[in-house]
Structure 1
Amino acid sequence: MRTLLIALTIPAVLVACSSVPDRQERHGAGNQRKPAIARLAGDVNVTPSVSVLDKGKVLISYSDCAACHKAADRKRGPAFQDIAARYPMNSTYIDILAKRIVLGTKGAWGNVVMPPHPTISEEDARTMVMYILSSDRESE
């Protein structure tokens, strides 16, 4: 009986010991820095006022944006700082992103689906986008 117990214990210990480096490697891989986000081409041609940015912040706080987005970390959707890192404060991008908020989109950040928000006006969506794009300056 004792021999059987030893015979079963040794393989179990070997398996457990051999899997520890795998856990450490997986854990270590999570600590790597995420790759830099490539900024899209375009000149900054919009400088929103402080009151517009404040209004954008309020509109976002009263919306369901926080269900999928966070300021600095990816949640279901990209972080606001990542969006700001990709898109310059440009009227064309502001219009495109505002339409994506209102109409919804898929594929801009992988397979993530941005549901439509038809109750948000395009003007309010533009204001929200300007606030989001301004978060790039806060991180500098």
Structure 2
Amino acid sequence: MKKLMIAFLISGGLIACGGGTEKPADEKKEEKKADPMAVDNQKGLELIGSNDCTTCHKISEKNIGPAYTDVAAKYENTQANIDMLVDKVIKGGQGNWGAVPMTPHPTLSKEDATEMVKYILGLKK
């Protein structure tokens, strides 16, 4: 009887400490996607951080330029919009967000600019 009681207490302790409560991988992926700020494009985020983008832009609040979440809200995530925004990042531009011009980034590769734009458009709520 003593052995049975000890086994019962150990089992209860393991269950209470989370043993056997691991969520399936599918549920973990769904939880990650539920976060509106969760974006799978880590490379795009790293490229934004390693360039001068954060001088003028922030993720969710206006700075000198628009917030990335505002850009994502304005433009649908289509190939035509990606191409147009990549062109603006590389060549610069003015007029879509006010009088302050966007600085051109002529040394930025089209591939890197594409990753950055995909990250930004992925912030759409």
Shorter chain as denominator, the TM-score bin is 0.5 to 0.7
* Structure 2 equivalent of residue 21 of structure 1: none
Structure 1 segments (4+ residues) deviating >3 Å: none
Displacement of 1:112: 1.7
Instruction: Please report the TM-score for the alignment, with normalisation by the length of structure 1.
Output: 0.60
What is the one-letter code of the residue matched to 1:85? A
Cα distance in structure 1, aligned partners of 2:62 and 2:93: 17
Residue 99 (structure 1) aligns with:
87
1:88 aligned partner = 76
* Corresponding residue to 1:119 among 99, 103, 107: 107
How many residue pairs end up in the alignment?
87
TM-score in terms of structure 2 length: 0.67
Per the alignment, residue 4 of structure 1 pairs with none
Aligned AA (1:79): A
TM superposition shift of 1:123? 1.2
Cα distance in 2, alignment partners of residues 64 and 132 from structure 1: 15
Matched, 1:54 2:25: no
Alignment-derived partner of residue 122 in structure 2: 134
Q: Which residue identity lines up with residue 67 of structure 1 in the other structure? A: T
In the other structure, the counterpart of 2:52 is: 64
Give 1:135 deviation, angstroms: 1.0
Amino acid aligned to 2:53: C
**What one-letter code is carried by the residue in structure 1 that aligns with 2:111?**
E
Distance in 1, matches of 2:100 and 2:73, equals: 18
